[in-house]
């Protein structure tokens, strides 16, 4: 198995990130800043982790002179502000310094970039939300980088699998041996079971892509790399919009007929009117509720899992004794194991429900109801 | 407003727990009666549990502050 160069590279990258970030997380929580108690600091750390950010911050430490150093990878910042503005996020020094490009000054404030005057003043409304102008932010954030990495991993992994069928006489090689049964499971037990023999092939690329995309990103979220991509509502919304579009654009005539005329020939038209006043709005709302529940389910599950694990890790630093800390370590370990299951389960449920909706949309009118009247 | 929110969140978790627990229990019974239908029962169980979970999360968001 280790003879596969691709797999070896993949494992190398994983171990590299894993090693770096274990170190990163533990140092950052335990470093106490002046004037903040531990609980608020842990709270802020969790809030920071759940959000997207403009750099990979691995850890920070205080040296002997009392200065705080941050260690991490900067990412490019791309702004559209009456023209393209590009600079490295390291110029912000984690929000401590302003960046001046031409006539404009930018400030990184709570993970968002604002336009300020030359002193960096932030104005607030009564709810303590910043009211400064925001330039259009197209930056490569942490989530964008992880999506690109996952995309590349998937591309090379599955291209390698497809190629090994051709070169190896129809038998998968290496990592493909692990993924082949999963792909077959999605084909046989999800796609064929819900969409049917005739039409499932059209939807297979989307179902496979969405399953592995969500699964891989969920698993990356569990590494201490500090990425929370599927726990970001913008990304789950994008995935759900794709399902919504595919469902409705590939829908058959029967599907729309069932939507606006659910009872069909089973009733005379004058009996249908009072029923349809209630039924049709519900059916139309259902069109939007289906993808909405998809996006909320994935987002909330991943968000909740991250909060629970991070809180349990934070408890270790609050207890500061042998019994409490080791208990919360054990709990964090157990929850992490459950989260591995949840990572697969959420990918499976997203795929399964998408396939179900596609199945509804592509149903054929093969059963003609006998008219009663 | 904090205490009603917390109580509401607790009630949601109780409701979702009872719901998913019943689905799991009934699925176990069904599998015990018809072990050969294991796969189909499990799939249906997961889908229904996911639907309840989705509603539960939506309600939890409604109780969340901000």
B29 CA to chain A: closest CA distance, Å?
22
| Whole-angstrom distance, CA of residue A149 vs CA of residue A13 | 11
pLDDT at B29: 96
User: Tokens representing A61?
Assistant: 């430490």
| Whole-angstrom distance, CA of residue B22 vs CA of residue B38 | 17
A350 CA to chain B: closest CA distance, Å?
9
CB-CB under 8 Å, A297 with B57: yes
Can you give the pLDDT of all 373 residues of chain A as single tens digits? 445 665 565 555 555 544 444 443 433 444 444 456 888 888 888 887 788 888 777 777 777 777 777 777 778 888 887 778 788 777 777 767 777 777 777 877 777 788 777 777 777 777 777 777 777 888 888 889 899 999 999 999 999 888 888 888 878 878 888 999 999 999 998 999 888 888 899 999 999 999 999 999 999 988 877 788 898 889 999 999 999 999 999 888 888 888 888 777 777 888 888 888 888 898 899 899 889 989 989 998 898 888 888 888 888 888 878 888 889 999 999 999 999 999 999 999 999 999 999 998 888 765 555 555 4
pLDDT at A3: 55
- Angle between helical axes of A176-185 and A142-167 (0-180°, round to 10): 100
Q: Say which DSSP state A119 is in.
A: T
Name chain A contacts of B53, Cβ cutoff 8 Å: 297, 301
pLDDT at A179: 92
CB-CB under 8 Å, B43 with A293: no
| Whole-angstrom distance, CA of residue A39 vs CA of residue A138 | 34
Question: What is the ipTM, given to two decimal places?
Answer: 0.80
pLDDT at A20: 43
User: Tokens representing A138?
Assistant: 């197209």
Of B43, B47, B58, the CB nearest to A296: B58
pLDDT at A7: 59
Residue B56 CB partners (closer than 8 Å, separation 6+) = B12, B13, B15, B16
| Whole-angstrom distance, CA of residue A122 vs CA of residue A104 | 14
- Whether A223 and A21 have beta carbons less than 8 Å apart is answered as yes
The string of DSSP letters for A157-193 reads HHHHHHHHHHHTTS---TTHHHHHHHHHHIIIIIIIH
Give the chain A residue nearest B61 (alpha carbons). Answer: A300
User: Tokens representing A183?
Assistant: 């792909």
Nearest to A150 by CA among A193, A201, A210, A80: A210
Name chain B contacts of A188, Cβ cutoff 8 Å: none
Could you tell me the domains of chain B? 9-63 (1.20.20.10)
CB-CB under 8 Å, A189 with B50: no
| Whole-angstrom distance, CA of residue A104 vs CA of residue A116 | 8
| Whole-angstrom distance, CA of residue A156 vs CA of residue A151 | 9
Share of chain B above pLDDT 90, in %: 44
pLDDT at A127: 73
Name chain A contacts of B51, Cβ cutoff 8 Å: 293
CA–CA distance from B4 to each of B8, B9, B11 (Å)?
6, 9, 10
Could you tell me which residues of chain B have a Cβ less than 8 Å from any Cβ in chain A?
39, 43, 46-47, 50-51, 53-55, 57-58, 60-61
User: Tokens representing A128?
Assistant: 């303590």
pLDDT at A4: 60
CA–CA distance from A49 to each of A17, A228, A254, A368 (Å)?
16, 7, 47, 55
Name chain B contacts of A301, Cβ cutoff 8 Å: 53, 57
Mutate which of B40, B54, B61 to disrupt the A interface (most A C-beta within 10 Å)?
Answer: B54
- Whether A61 and A69 have beta carbons less than 8 Å apart is answered as yes
| Whole-angstrom distance, CA of residue A168 vs CA of residue A172 | 7
pLDDT at A148: 93
Going A122 to A128 to A131 to A134, the CA torsion angle's sign is positive
CB-CB under 8 Å, B57 with A300: yes
* Chain A with chain B: Cβ pairs closer than 8 A: 34
CB-CB under 8 Å, B53 with A352: no
pLDDT at A28: 41
- More confident of the two residues A16 and B15: B15
Name chain B contacts of A300, Cβ cutoff 8 Å: 57-58, 60-61
Nearest to A55 by CA among A98, A108, A11: A108
CB-CB under 8 Å, A304 with B61: no
pLDDT at A9: 59
| Whole-angstrom distance, CA of residue B24 vs CA of residue B33 | 14
- Angle between helical axes of A269-319 and A38-50 (0-180°, round to 10): 140
């Amino acid at each position: 198995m280790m003879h596969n160069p691709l797999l070896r590279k993949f494992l190398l990258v994983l171990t590299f990130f894993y090693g770096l970030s274990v170190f990163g997380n533990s140092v950052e929580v335990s470093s106490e800043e002046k004037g903040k108690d531990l609980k608020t600091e842990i709270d802020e750390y969790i809030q920071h982790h759940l959000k997207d950010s403009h750099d990979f911050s691995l850890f920070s430490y205080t040296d002997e002179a009392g200065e705080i150093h941050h260690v991490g990878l900067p990412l490019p910042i791309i702004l559209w502000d009456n023209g393209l503005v590009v600079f490295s996020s390291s110029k912000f020094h984690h929000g401590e310094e302003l960046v001046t490009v031409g006539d404009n000054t930018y400030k990184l404030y709570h993970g968002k970039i604002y336009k300020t005057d030359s002193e960096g003043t932030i104005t607030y409304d009564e709810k303590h939300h910043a009211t400064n102008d925001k330039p259009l932010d197209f930056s490569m954030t942490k989530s964008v980088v992880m999506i690109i990495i996952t995309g590349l991993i998937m591309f090379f992994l599955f291209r390698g699998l497809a190629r090994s069928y051709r070169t190896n006489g129809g038998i998968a090689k290496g990592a493909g041996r692990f993924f082949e049964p999963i792909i077959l499971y999605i084909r046989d037990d999800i796609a064929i079971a819900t969409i049917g023999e005739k039409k499932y092939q059209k939807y297979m690329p989307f179902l496979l892509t969405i399953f592995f995309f969500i699964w891989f990103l969920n698993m990356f979220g569990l590494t201490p790399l500090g990425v929370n991509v599927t726990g970001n509502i913008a990304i789950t919304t994008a995935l759900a919009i794709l399902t919504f579009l595919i469902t409705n654009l590939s829908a058959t005539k029967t599907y729309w007929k069932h939507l606006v005329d659910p009872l069909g020939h089973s009733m005379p038209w004058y009996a249908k009117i009072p029923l349809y006043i209630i039924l049709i709005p519900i059916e139309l709302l259902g069109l939007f509720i289906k993808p909405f529940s998809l996006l909320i389910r994935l987002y909330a599950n991943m968000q909740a899992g991250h909060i629970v694990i991070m809180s349990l890790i934070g408890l270790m630093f609050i207890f500061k004794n042998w019994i409490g800390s080791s208990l919360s370590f054990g709990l964090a370990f157990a929850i992490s194991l459950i989260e591995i299951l949840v990572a697969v389960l959420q990918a499976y449920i997203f795929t399964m429900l998408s396939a179900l909706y596609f199945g509804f949309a592509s149903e054929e009118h093969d059963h003609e109801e006998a008219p009663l009247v | 407003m904090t205490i009603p929110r917390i109580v509401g969140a607790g009630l949601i978790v109780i409701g979702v727990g009872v719901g998913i627990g019943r689905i799991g229990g009934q699925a176990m019974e069904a599998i015990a009666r018809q072990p050969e239908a294991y796969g189909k029962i499990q799939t249906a169980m997961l889908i229904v549990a996911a639907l309840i979970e989705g509603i539960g999360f939506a309600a939890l968001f409604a109780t969340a502050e901000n």
